[in-house]
């Protein structure tokens, strides 16, 4: 049975985390994304003007799926589209011999401009894979039958390299016990329900945070508008229309954000919520917590995930998420 581990290297401000992946004879850095289900890469089919500074997948090692195509738009309105190949994909020693690899023929500017990332490796449920006319499986779903345990884990860190594992839980990566919660995969996401929250040392847990997804591909923590408002009231922040979100002082006094999941409280340090100066050198930071307005549910992105050890587990039949303090 297979198992393995791969580094997750943070970009500036932990905006995304990139991991080395071998596809055929190409070595690329991909953004592992539990919020989508396509494995796509810059390729020899990508216009040269759109792929400056990127490693590219050389599709000559693959078998083209004739007449297949893909097209994806992400929550932040970035996107890409192209053709599909079957090729060997290796992640941390775990091998998928015939993985659907989506070669980009067009890519939005936010991906072209981010030269650290050579594409995405989707880890949401294969039910939202965009390949047509026949939907394809994610890397995890492809290798799942061969894994020692049908799960992968995510250990992201603030400003340091973390890791993803496939097929095993690294018990040295967390403290205390793991709290498991049921996952509703009906929308293709790792969706769970979060409970009460509190700000700083207040123990007055307030209302329920509600339906949330665990999304490594989203940088920030998007919460109900009332929760975000309550946080920044205590953090001395404000909603800044010009910045398009909440900002707060970068002075190191941001309070922690505490949230109950499965009856266990997890702490997001205030230092993670003073996310980044709004402009280089500024004493005003963009907030790591923002309102989920227009999204319809909460997104527990990297600001939350780097505070915990997360287990994405389908080994019990029904999918579940495990969280532990780290």
Ligand X SMILES: O=C(NNC1=NCCC1)c1ccc(Br)cc1
Which are the catalytic amino acids?
33, 215
Residue position matching structure tokens 């404000």? 238
Residue among 250, 139, 252, 127 at smallest CA distance from 185: 127
How many of the chain's residues bind ligand X (CB under 6 A)? 13
In whole angstroms, give the CA distance from residue 62 to residue 23: 9
* 2, 78, 158, 284: residue in contact with ligand X (rule CB under 6 A): 78
Considering Cα of 155, then 156, then 159, then 161, what sign does the dihedral take?
A: positive
| 125-146: b (≥16 Cβ within 10 Å) or e | bbebbbbeeeebbbbbbbbbeb
Other CB atoms within 10 Å distance of the CB of residue 281: 6
In whole angstroms, give the CA distance from residue 227 to residue 198: 9
In whole angstroms, give the CA distance from residue 88 to residue 101: 9
Residue among 90, 94, 95 at smallest CA distance from 30: 90
x/- track of binding to ligand X for residues 285-304 (CB under 6 A): ----------x---x-----
123 binds ligand X (CB under 6 A): no
Q: Whose Cβ is closer to ligand X: residue 76's or residue 170's? A: 76
74 binds ligand X (CB under 6 A): yes
113 binds ligand X (CB under 6 A): no
- Shortest Å distance, C-beta 175 to ligand X: 28
Q: Which stretch binds ligand X (CB under 6 A): 31-39, 41-49, 154-162, 306-314?
A: 31-39
Q: Whose Cβ is closer to ligand X: residue 72's or residue 94's? A: 72
Q: How many residues does the chain have?
A: 326
129 binds ligand X (CB under 6 A): no
Q: Which stretch binds ligand X (CB under 6 A): 125-133, 178-186, 214-222, 273-281?
A: 214-222
Q: Are the CB atoms for 171 and 7 separated by under 8 Å?
A: no
Q: Which stretch binds ligand X (CB under 6 A): 62-70, 72-80, 145-153, 279-287?
A: 72-80
112 binds ligand X (CB under 6 A): no
Q: Which stretch binds ligand X (CB under 6 A): 62-70, 204-212, 213-221, 244-252?
A: 213-221
- Name the residue whose CB lies closest to ligand X: 75
- Shortest Å distance, C-beta 192 to ligand X: 13
119 binds ligand X (CB under 6 A): no
* 62, 217, 237, 287: residue in contact with ligand X (rule CB under 6 A): 217
141 binds ligand X (CB under 6 A): no
The two beta strands, 63-73 and 175-182, are unpaired
- Shortest Å distance, C-beta 3 to ligand X: 25
In whole angstroms, give the CA distance from residue 104 to residue 99: 16
User: What SS3 string covers 220-240?
Assistant: CEEECHHHHHHHHHHHCCEEE
- Shortest Å distance, C-beta 214 to ligand X: 10
Q: Which stretch binds ligand X (CB under 6 A): 28-36, 37-45, 89-97, 241-249?
A: 28-36
Cα within 13 Å of Cα(266), Cβ side: 27
- Shortest Å distance, C-beta 215 to ligand X: 5
* 20, 75, 79, 249: residue in contact with ligand X (rule CB under 6 A): 75
Q: Whose Cβ is closer to ligand X: residue 3's or residue 212's? A: 212
Contacts (Cβ under 8 Å, ≥6 apart) of 220: 275, 287, 288, 289, 290, 299, 301, 302, 303
Q: Which residue ranges make up the site for ligand X (CB under 6 A)?
A: 33, 35-36, 74-76, 78, 213, 215, 217-218, 295, 299
């Amino acid at each position: 049975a297979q198992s393995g581990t791969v580094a997750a290297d943070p970009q500036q401000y932990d905006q995304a985390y990139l991991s080395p992946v071998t596809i055929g004879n190409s070595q690329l850095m991909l953004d592992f994304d539990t919020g989508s289900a396509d494995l796509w890469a810059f390729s020899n089919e990508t216009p040269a003007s759109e792929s400056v500074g990127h490693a590219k997948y050389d599709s000559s090692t693959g078998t083209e799926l004739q007449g297949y195509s893909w097209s994806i738009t992400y929550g932040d309105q970035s996107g890409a589209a192209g053709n599909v190949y079957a090729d060997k994909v290796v992640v941390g020693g775990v091998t998928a011999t015939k993985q659907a690899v989506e070669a980009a023929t067009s890519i939005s500017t936010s991906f072209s401009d981010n030269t650290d990332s050579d594409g995405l490796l989707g880890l949401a449920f294969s039910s939202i894979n965009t390949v047509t006319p026949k939907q394809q499986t994610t890397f995890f779903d492809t290798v799942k039958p061969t894994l020692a345990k049908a799960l992968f884990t995510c250990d992201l860190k603030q400003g340091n390299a973390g890791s993803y594992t496939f097929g095993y839980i690294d018990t040295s990566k967390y403290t205390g016990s793991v709290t498991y919660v049921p996952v509703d995969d009906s929308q293709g996401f790792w969706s769970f329900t979060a409970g009460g929250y509190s700000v700083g040392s207040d123990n007055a847990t307030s209302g329920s945070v509600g339906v949330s997804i665990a999304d490594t591909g989203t940088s920030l923590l998007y919460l109900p508008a009332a929760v975000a408002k309550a946080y920044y009231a205590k953090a001395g922040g404000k909603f800044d229309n010009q910045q398009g979100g909440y900002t707060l002082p970068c002075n190191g006094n941001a309070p922690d954000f505490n949230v109950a999941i499965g009856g266990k409280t997890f702490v997001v340090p205030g230092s993670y919520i003073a996310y980044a100066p709004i402009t280089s050198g500024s004493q005003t930071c963009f907030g790591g917590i923002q309102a989920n307005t227009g999204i319809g549910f909460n997104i527990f992105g990297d600001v939350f995930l780097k505070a915990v050890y997360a287990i994405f587990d389908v080994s019990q039949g029904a999918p579940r998420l495990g969280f532990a303090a780290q």
